[in-house]
Amino acid sequence: MKLFITPTSVYARKVRIVVREKGLADRIEEIVTLPVDAAPELLAVNPLSQIPALIDDDGQAWTDSSVIAAWLDGRGGGVPFLPEYGSDAYWRVRRMETAAMGMIEMMAKIVYENRRPEGERSPFWLRRWEDNLVRAFRMADAFDPDPGIFDMGTMNLAIAGTFCDFRLGHVDWRAVAPRIAAVQAELEKRQSFIDTYPR
């Protein structure tokens, strides 16, 4: 299998952690590419030129980090990242995952807006998105994530916190999300997190 990634991408990091935790690293070749370059190899898998993108052993293309991560979860060994479909536990984990991905989307908007020339940036949208982000961290913290539980929900909350530290260090998300901070501190000790830390 081939996985198109960028080492600093939080979306790719999610999938790369699953690959390592599920014992699939020896079956997947990671191909580093920049989406802005619109490399033909990436466009053949994802015409939107977004990462991560996966080509499985049958040549089928997979896109979207949550879809790829869930698919790989069923292909590797170890304890599943997602509980049994339809159970209360399943929906709790998916709600945490969705909250984390929403926060990541907010952060991506802020990062891209700040890359525009200073005179073209919108202070209104930057303020609004940052306020949204802080509110989202507070709301997600109310899910009461447990540092002792490693699933798709806690994994995504942890990488959202790290992405905020990496890209938006001025945002004090820990002040409103101490439970997520505890989860992040614990999960970042795992080898899969160390190996995929954004650099």
Same domain assignment for residues 53 and 95:
no
Asked, for residue 107, whether it belongs to a domain, the answer is yes
Asked, for residue 197, whether it belongs to a domain, the answer is no
Asked, for residue 78, whether it belongs to a domain, the answer is no
Asked, for residue 196, whether it belongs to a domain, the answer is no
Same domain assignment for residues 53 and 98:
no
Same domain assignment for residues 27 and 69:
yes
Residue that finishes a domain, picked among 73, 101, 125: 73
Same domain assignment for residues 62 and 143:
no
Same domain assignment for residues 105 and 184:
yes
Asked, for residue 81, whether it belongs to a domain, the answer is no
Distance CA 123, CA 163 (A): 22
Asked, for residue 82, whether it belongs to a domain, the answer is no
CATH number at residue 61: 3.40.30.10
Report the pLDDT averaged over residues 35-47.
Answer: 90
Given this model, what pLDDT does residue 78 score? 87
Residue that finishes a domain, picked among 39, 73, 107: 73
Tokens standing for 159? 């990488």
Q: In DSSP terms, which residues pair with 31 in a beta bridge?
A: 4
Given this model, what pLDDT does residue 36 score? 85
- Give percent of the chain with pLDDT exceeding 90: 93
Distance CA 33, CA 18 (A): 20
Residue-wise pLDDT for 138-151, tens only, equals 999 999 999 999 99
Same domain assignment for residues 69 and 124:
no
Tokens standing for 154? 């806690």
- Its pTM stands at 0.94
Tokens standing for 70? 């869930």
Nearest residue to 21 via CA among 181, 185, 152, 146: 152
CATH number at residue 184: 1.20.1050.10
- Give DSSP secondary structure letters for 26-87: GG-EEEE--GGG--HHHHHH-TT--S-EEE-TTS-EEESHHHHHHHHHTTSSSS-SS-STTS
Average pLDDT, the chain: 96
Given this model, what pLDDT does residue 38 score? 87
Inter-residue contact 183 to 146 (CB < 8 Å):
yes
Asked, for residue 62, whether it belongs to a domain, the answer is yes
Same domain assignment for residues 65 and 92:
no
CB atoms within 10 A of CB 60: 11
Q: Report DSSP state, residue 190.
A: S
Inter-residue contact 168 to 113 (CB < 8 Å):
no
Number of helices (H) and strands (E), helices first, in the chain? 8, 4
Q: Is the Cα torsion angle 60, 65, 66, 68 positive or negative in sign? A: positive
- Domain range spanning residue 63? 2-73
Count of domains in the chain?
Answer: 2
Same domain assignment for residues 104 and 57:
no
Cβ within 8 Å of residue 52, ≥6 positions away:
3, 4, 5, 9, 11, 12, 14, 15, 16, 63, 65, 68
Given this model, what pLDDT does residue 182 score? 98
Same domain assignment for residues 137 and 167:
yes
Q: Report DSSP state, residue 67.
A: H
